[in-house]
Structure 1
């Protein structure tokens, strides 16, 4: 209860983004990817005065050690990543209409837009396999201007812990069946993803 009051007092909220993958399945895919080596971390947006590069480096350091499924931690270098098709993407201040799939599929040709609003800050953290969103959260807090603000570490850790939690609609499903544009199953129960 004290933690909830503390979170409410600083104006922070963390909400899971629906991806169609259950909590248990999310962790199984994370474990599969984590066994391959360091997890790739990518950051978009410029939320802090230190810049995107430093934001990515500090975020990787904070997240390394959070997940036992990722024993080698996080890296910013795709050449060092164990399986670079699996990655965490952190988007700062994307438009409200942004989806987890949109964060995963953003690239140089199709960049994310940004919507900075005064005293509030949003962070969209998504675990992706290429352009497929496996797990994601949207975190909102009072605006921070520097990575030295301890509230950033707390916000990132809250987001990381919430991302792989089961929700009330958790039916144990590992696959997502899609019919548009062609039928396909995104997740393979035997090997994680194909």
Structure 2
């Protein structure tokens, strides 16, 4: 990634709240440069810097996820527990919560997939949860038992994030219940299996019209 594209990606992040994970957001980022351009980036420049079509949007999603993990690390305090760490990460979702279904659909779709036989690729979503889990385990290092349970933490976080999309106010309590109760932790593993189905339904009602799935 060039210095220019990295700089524009950083400037695009605050714009996601109002414009979503879109090529428009990347285009408008040029207006936030220290010496701003007179006009937003033309579409050809967005393609040249970030990729064609939805690839540019996926680049923005990945940049936002990377930034959220970075902030989770930077804002952590000494002896922060696992629950507090994961709730801090969930809080990062709040400003862009309405756009997250589309973001996850972008991650789970790919022009390389043999549509319509394989409309969902869960691997990027699972990778996202694993990265959050690894970062959280590193931050909450005071409890070494979490290191051997990273897969469970990934599943718990993903279940809580899914819950957050439909019930934001109760997501922290839902997360606590999963962490505190072994039976609930097992339930989290079951609930994450429903994620692909959720994304598919979200595409029908929210994302199909945006062109993510045609």
Taking structure 2 as the reference length, the TM-score comes to: 0.26
If asked which structure has higher relative contact order (CA below 8 Å, sep 6+), I would say 1
Higher strand residue share: 1
Taking structure 1 as the reference length, the TM-score comes to: 0.28
